[in-house]
Amino acid sequence: MGVAFLLSGQGAQKPGMGAALIEQGAPEVAETFAIASEAFGFDVADVCLNASAETLRDTAFAQPAMCTLSVAVAKALEAAYAADLDLVCI
């Protein structure tokens, strides 16, 4: 039996989302945000931590932020619990 992780999509975003996870500075989380920031061309962690609710209603920021945070959560779970996720659905 495999392990799947289902994450919410756009509509669940809020200012400050993921703050505890991002501020812990776990290497897998930092790496996920660094890769996403380079790919999207803006600091995705900054959007998660500091963007206004209005900014987060803009799909151009909400989708990258939600996707990156979701992947970071999955990677943090894998690292913390030696989990081997077979599927991550965003």
- pLDDT digits over 30-68, tens only? 999 999 999 999 999 999 999 999 999 999 999 999 999
Report yes or no: 15 and 53 within 8 Å, Cβ to Cβ: yes
Single pTM value for the model? 0.83
Spatial CA neighbour of 52 closest among 65, 41, 39, 40: 65
Report yes or no: 68 and 44 within 8 Å, Cβ to Cβ: yes
Report yes or no: 23 and 76 within 8 Å, Cβ to Cβ: no
State the pLDDT confidence band at 90, using cuts at 50, 70 and 90. Answer: low
